[in-house]
A and B are shown apart, each in its own frame.
Chain A
Amino acid sequence: MSTPADQTEAFHQRIDEALHNDQLRRNFRSALTGIMARRAEQFPDDAQLQALRDQARAVRANSLVRQPELLEQLETKLTGNGIQVHWAESPEQANAIIHTILDAAGAKTVVKGKSMVSEETELNHFLERRGIEVIESDLGEYIIQLAEEPPSHIVAPAIHKNRVEVAELFRRFHPEIPYTEDIDTLTQSARQILRNRFANADAGISGVNFAVAETGTLCLVENEGNGRLSTTAPRLHIAITGVEKVVEKLSDVPPLLEILTKSATGQPITTYFNMISRPRQPGELDGPEAVHLVLLDNGRSRIRVDEELLDTLRCIRCGACINHCPVYVQLGGHAYGTVYPGPIGLALEPQRVGIDKVGTLTSACTMCGACGEVCPVRIPLPKLINRLRAEAVDGQRSDAGLPGHGSLRKSGEAVTWRVWRQLYASPRLYRLFTWAATRLRALTPPRLGAWTRYRSAPKPASRPLRELVRQEGFRHE
């Protein structure tokens, strides 16, 4: 059992490793600088951007308010369309459902489109342990599957690797292909390697970007075509998504799609927007004969209870907050140690996994506010992170029912803040304190633990400002 202190130490160790990996930091800096510039180019008119953000926020907020009705409507529509709907409260349940479906179909090989929800459930490992071969088919996901690493970014999973590292992986796993560091040639190699997989896989698994209740439609956003292949070429398609992804109407989709692709990668639109409403119909010659949707809760319904924390669920997973985070750019995604890194990870993961397990993450924030400014659905990320910091050290019971509430509270720290509050709330005590601190400044300790590892110790001035001002003859304080 790891304690909150272990959690903090492990996090600090990962940070230390990341900060000392110059190659990693160069890879992130150069990739993120490019993405930020491309996003900015897509929004030349600030008024239009703000209006689009308002629209996207309203669509997502409305869908969260009406979530139970919309999920039932979605289920009814999908079922009517011939798509089978499954509900899972936990990752274990979701994995078991998917395995049962694959097993019943006799599926032994699976091609997968990108899905962060399947990372939440660690689906690949679960299936592989049961003898099912799972091939990630998004190029970035394929690269990190070879490297046996988790994604370091929710949109660009292999963003931490440069071309030389990718070339090395291809040499190791595909020695039959001539070695190259040329990105176009590497891309063509991946095409050749994965083409057979698409043609021969028994089943395809994908995520979902938006699920439309009105029409019973699963929408997937992608550039490569691997998502379309995974959902079209095999006889069986299983989609997995979080319960919060439902939206009410088809007409809600265009503004979300536009702001998603522009915010995520600085593209006016992705190459493919794939809308699936049915399995193969009589007379149709391709497409899966069976389509399943697994709706995963995994803490989402609990998050929705709190009026403030609820905003977390508006997220459309564009990654803009991550791309603009001054902490993420230094650390990269793996240092966080969670499925979702960066600002959205700081807000979501302590709620989903528990403050006692990953609450320390919330310290990885400078409160600069960049994430909140770029968020396409106006999630007040700095406010949420601040709230979770307070929840982590709060000594009272909380209505939000957050797992691990108060688990990072330290009695010494709590006493310090209580004293601080007393001092600042009482002018007399404050004057006494500053009088003493300035007179006794020679006694300031030269070393203050971690603070003075990279900084000099703060020393009080010889006289408080208040006294200096009086000496100058000012009387009105």
Chain B
Amino acid sequence: MSEARERILKRLRANRPAASPAPDAYQKPLGWDRERRIAAFSERMQAVRGEVHRVARDAWTDWLARELPARGLRQVLVGNGAVGDQLAERAPDGIALRRYDQPVEAWKASLFDDVDVAITAARAGLAESGTLVLWPDAAEPRLMSLVPPVHIALLDVGRLHENFAAAIAVENWADGMPTNALLISGPSKTADIEQTLAYGIHGPKQLITLLLD
């Protein structure tokens, strides 16, 4: 279909609309300090039914050891990275820890049916919109934050940006995008029936952020 390509481009090149002023570089600095960013992130995330807990940096495995059994989450999926390793070291009793260590095709049905919760790291957070930034990779694949009914994300408070524009600029995303980058703001939801909000449609029904401090 390269003929189509040539014809479309030819038509587009045949005229150049009057130049419109190039957009200014978009920045929206809010001047929020650390506490303000944490407060905004938590408030926005909770407004869309995301859970947020502030946990000491070395105590998140304790939090999970306590909360996973209490919430009846037994089939726990972790990746091949540091999060999985640390949790494996002190897996709580009564928990079956599963590693995402083979291509999804080898265990797709089980991923969709058997896993109760997946635990991943978050690359960053966006305070203004209450958003987790994930760059899934070989260690923590894409479907972890999507298929299991509960997703728990670990976010270092030091990685809370004010907003999306700031994250892109500060982390220089344009220099190299990953296979998949995600902004996640709350559990999956829909308003397709009578514009009435309902949570837990296709993605996770619960999204829990552990803010590590």
A188: which B residues are within 8 A, CB to CB?
Answer: 200
Q: Which of B31-39, B60-68, B82-90, B166-174 contacts A (4 or more CB under 8 A)?
A: B166-174
With A and B bound together, what is the CA distance between A279 and B179 in angstroms? 7
Does B15 lie within 8 Å of A304, measured CB to CB? yes
Does B169 lie within 8 Å of A139, measured CB to CB? no
B200: which A residues are within 8 A, CB to CB?
Answer: 187-188, 191
A269: which B residues are within 8 A, CB to CB?
Answer: 129-131, 183, 185
Does B1 lie within 8 Å of A156, measured CB to CB? no
> How many chain-A residues does the 8 Å CB contact rule pick out?
98
Please tell me if B143 contacts chain A, counting CB pairs below 8 Å.
yes
Please tell me if B194 contacts chain A, counting CB pairs below 8 Å.
yes
Partner among B1, B174, B184 whose Cβ is within 8 Å of the Cβ of A250: B174
Does B195 lie within 8 Å of A34, measured CB to CB? yes
Does A89 lie within 8 Å of B23, measured CB to CB? no
Please tell me if A195 contacts chain B, counting CB pairs below 8 Å.
yes
Q: Which of A66-74, A334-342, A465-473 contacts B (4 or more CB under 8 A)?
A: A66-74
Please tell me if A464 contacts chain B, counting CB pairs below 8 Å.
no
With A and B bound together, what is the CA distance between A255 and B169 in angstroms? 13
B16: which A residues are within 8 A, CB to CB?
Answer: 65
Please tell me if B71 contacts chain A, counting CB pairs below 8 Å.
no
Partner among B1, B22, B196 whose Cβ is within 8 Å of the Cβ of A97: B1
With A and B bound together, what is the CA distance between A194 and B147 in angstroms? 12
Q: Separation in Å of the B37 CB from the closest CB of chain A?
A: 15
Partner among B28, B112, B147, B203 whose Cβ is within 8 Å of the Cβ of A271: B203
Partner among B109, B146, B191 whose Cβ is within 8 Å of the Cβ of A229: B146
A258: which B residues are within 8 A, CB to CB?
Answer: 164
With A and B bound together, what is the CA distance between A226 and B144 in angstroms? 15
With A and B bound together, what is the CA distance between A188 and B137 in angstroms? 30
Please tell me if A39 contacts chain B, counting CB pairs below 8 Å.
no
Does A187 lie within 8 Å of B198, measured CB to CB? yes
Of residues A59, A216, A251, which shows the largest number of chain B Cβ atoms within 10 Å of its Cβ? A251
Partner among A158, A199, A214, A304 whose Cβ is within 8 Å of the Cβ of B109: A199
Please tell me if B9 contacts chain A, counting CB pairs below 8 Å.
yes
Tell me the B142-188 residues at the A interface (CB within 8 Å): 142-143, 146-147, 163-165, 168-169, 173-174, 177-188
Please tell me if A280 contacts chain B, counting CB pairs below 8 Å.
yes
Q: Given that A215-B174, A225-B202, A271-B186 are contacting pairs, would A162 and B194 also be in contact in the complex, using a CB cutoff of 8 Å?
A: yes
With A and B bound together, what is the CA distance between A305 and B48 in angstroms? 44
Please tell me if A55 contacts chain B, counting CB pairs below 8 Å.
yes
Does A224 lie within 8 Å of B201, measured CB to CB? yes
Does A224 lie within 8 Å of B203, measured CB to CB? yes
Does B5 lie within 8 Å of A271, measured CB to CB? no
Does B104 lie within 8 Å of A183, measured CB to CB? no
Does B18 lie within 8 Å of A93, measured CB to CB? no
B196: which A residues are within 8 A, CB to CB?
Answer: 163, 183
Q: Separation in Å of the A204 CB from the closest CB of chain B?
A: 12
Does A301 lie within 8 Å of B12, measured CB to CB? yes
Partner among B108, B130, B192 whose Cβ is within 8 Å of the Cβ of A199: B108
Convert A224-263 into 0s and 1s, putting 1 for each residue whose CB lies closer than 8 angstroms to a CB of B: 1110110011010000000100000111111101100000
Of residues B18, B182, B193, which shows the largest number of chain A Cβ atoms within 10 Å of its Cβ? B193
A274: which B residues are within 8 A, CB to CB?
Answer: 180, 182
Please tell me if A143 contacts chain B, counting CB pairs below 8 Å.
yes
Q: Which of A118-126, A283-291, A345-353, A385-393 contacts B (4 or more CB under 8 A)?
A: A283-291
CB-based nearest B residue for A247 = B23
Does B9 lie within 8 Å of A254, measured CB to CB? no
Q: Separation in Å of the A45 CB from the closest CB of chain B?
A: 13
Partner among A156, A163, A243, A273 whose Cβ is within 8 Å of the Cβ of B182: A273
Partner among A55, A64, A280, A307 whose Cβ is within 8 Å of the Cβ of B179: A280
Partner among A183, A229, A310 whose Cβ is within 8 Å of the Cβ of B202: A229
Partner among A89, A249, A276 whose Cβ is within 8 Å of the Cβ of B180: A276
Does A186 lie within 8 Å of B193, measured CB to CB? yes
Does A163 lie within 8 Å of B193, measured CB to CB? yes
CB-based nearest A residue for B104 = A286
Please tell me if A312 contacts chain B, counting CB pairs below 8 Å.
no
With A and B bound together, what is the CA distance between A285 and B106 in angstroms? 10
Does B146 lie within 8 Å of A228, measured CB to CB? yes
Does B20 lie within 8 Å of A58, measured CB to CB? yes
With A and B bound together, what is the CA distance between A62 and B101 in angstroms? 45
Q: Given that A55-B26, A183-B194, A285-B104 are contacting pairs, would A224 and B189 also be in contact in the complex, using a CB cutoff of 8 Å?
A: yes
B188: which A residues are within 8 A, CB to CB?
Answer: 223-225, 271-272
- The list of the 5 closest CB pairs from A to B, nearest first, reads A225-B203, A140-B192, A58-B23, A273-B183, A87-B5
